[in-house]
Amino acid sequence: MQIKAPRGTYDILPDEAVKWQWMEQVLRETAERFGYREIRTPMFEHTELFHRGVGESTDIVTKEMYTFLDKSQRSLTLRPEGTASCARALIEHSLYNGTLPIKWYYIGPMFRYDRPQTGRYRQFHQFGIEAFGSRSPYLDAEVLFLLVEILKGLGLPAYELHLNSVGCSQCREEYRRKLIEHITPVKDRLCADCQVRYLQNPLRVLDCKEKSCHQAIADHPTLIDSLCDDCRDHYTLVQKALRDNGIEFVHDDNLVRGLDYYTNTAFEIHIPGIGAQSAVGGGGRYDGLVESCGGPSLPGIGFALGLERLLLALDKYKGVPPAEKQVNVFVAVMQDHLEDRAAALLYRLRQQGIAADKDYNQRSSRAQMKLADKLGAKYVILLGEDEVKGGFVTVRDMKTKEQRKVDQEGLIPFLQERLDNC
């Protein structure tokens, strides 16, 4: 039986990888311009971190985690997201005692056991940012400016930013009560999942994908009407900062997000036309997360973008700039017994910073030229008996097809000068 990549995973082959490299460069540059620095956390964590951080009643924790016992019977989980790991790292290294806010970004694979489809995988990649240590609404605004700046940097023209406030723990408790009261009389009209979860987590009914649930609770009370004064003021200032800076958004009463740690500002970014999985990113405040992971009371806010979904959007709307060709110079060997000289020359070119390659399959001269062309070589160095005897090489300009003799000594500067002017 042929062994294939596990369901919901895939290979990124070199032609695709160049798109990823370009995209990752835009993400890194933009985050760094906003003062965020990279953090790398392990790909697996103690399972308890996600129970405490992401929340016991979430789909991620109840259904989607890759959890296993290691040889010492410890329960470990492949990270389903990055925020809880960042909170754990911040606590573990006592960084809350240093200068705040702490601003981090990360890029890497995440793992969720979900039904694979276009834009949804079991191993997928996120770019995320997290800022810990300030409740300022202007930090919320900064995070949203950064999100929009990234989409602009990638050249994605169409997106919808949905925004809501899910309040603090007090106003949310009040809202939960109201919502349960509202849902109870119509509970039989809910989908099977919501019938089970509405008592424990009634907010999830708001963002259920089933039409029947939406219809059943159509005139539900809104979160925004239950906010306390502090939370309302905070949300007002975030919205004002966005408007003042020309960032378009829609207030969305049904936006509650699928992870339990959110407080106050919550948002999602959708790109139309990329299929059912149109949410390319989401995030919000999580002022209680650090504490629930065992640290001090320290507010935070962040978001994550799904890189596969961003690529779907790039493929649909704009494409990715063509990648640099693989090599600049190709060494073509005219006689087999000169292979050792060609190998030495190739090594010398590479040591001098010139991207170069050669054939290793005893191709004919013509086939070597074809290979040079395929690899994108701008110059081919021809190495034959005459060249070796005369202490020179023949350099062929692949564009003009011109050939000229260049002595061995002067070869590197000759190539460097021409490549610099390409």
Which residues in this chain contact ligand HAM in the complex, by CB under 6 A? Answer: 81-83, 112, 114, 119-121, 124, 126, 128, 130, 258-259, 279-284, 302-304, 306, 308-309
Looking at the Cβ atoms of 280 and 371, the one nearer to ligand HAM is: 280
Task: Return the closest-CA partner of residue 154 out of 131, 127, 129, 123.
Answer: 127
By beta carbon distance, the residue nearest ligand HAM is 306
CB neighbours of residue 5 within 10 Å: 9
Q: What are the strands of the beta sheet with 44-46, ordered from one edge?
A: 44-46, 75-78, 67-69
Q: Closest separation between CB of residue 414 and ligand HAM, Å?
A: 49
Looking at the Cβ atoms of 167 and 283, the one nearer to ligand HAM is: 283
Q: Closest separation between CB of residue 274 and ligand HAM, Å?
A: 10
Task: Return the closest-CA partner of residue 303 out of 103, 147, 148, 125.
Answer: 147
Tell me the torsion sign for CA atoms 304, 307, 309, 315. positive
Looking at the Cβ atoms of 132 and 392, the one nearer to ligand HAM is: 132
Q: Closest separation between CB of residue 123 and ligand HAM, Å?
A: 8
Measured distance CA(14)–CA(226) in Å, rounded? 51
Measured distance CA(140)–CA(286) in Å, rounded? 11
Task: Return the closest-CA partner of residue 361 out of 339, 382, 378, 340.
Answer: 339
Q: How far is CA 316 from CA 12, 166, 313, 397, in A?
A: 18, 33, 5, 37
Looking at the Cβ atoms of 252 and 339, the one nearer to ligand HAM is: 252
Looking at the Cβ atoms of 132 and 330, the one nearer to ligand HAM is: 132
Measured distance CA(282)–CA(85) in Å, rounded? 17
CB neighbours of residue 190 within 10 Å: 20
Looking at the Cβ atoms of 209 and 401, the one nearer to ligand HAM is: 209
Looking at the Cβ atoms of 202 and 300, the one nearer to ligand HAM is: 300
Q: Closest separation between CB of residue 223 and ligand HAM, Å?
A: 18
Q: Closest separation between CB of residue 4 and ligand HAM, Å?
A: 19
Element (H, E) at 69: strand 67-69
Task: Return the closest-CA partner of residue 364 out of 342, 408, 333, 328.
Answer: 333
Asked if residues 68 and 116 have their Cβ atoms less than 8 Å apart, the reply is no
Q: Closest separation between CB of residue 403 and ligand HAM, Å?
A: 51
Measured distance CA(78)–CA(272) in Å, rounded? 30
Q: Closest separation between CB of residue 116 and ligand HAM, Å?
A: 8
Q: Closest separation between CB of residue 96 and ligand HAM, Å?
A: 17
Looking at the Cβ atoms of 78 and 304, the one nearer to ligand HAM is: 304
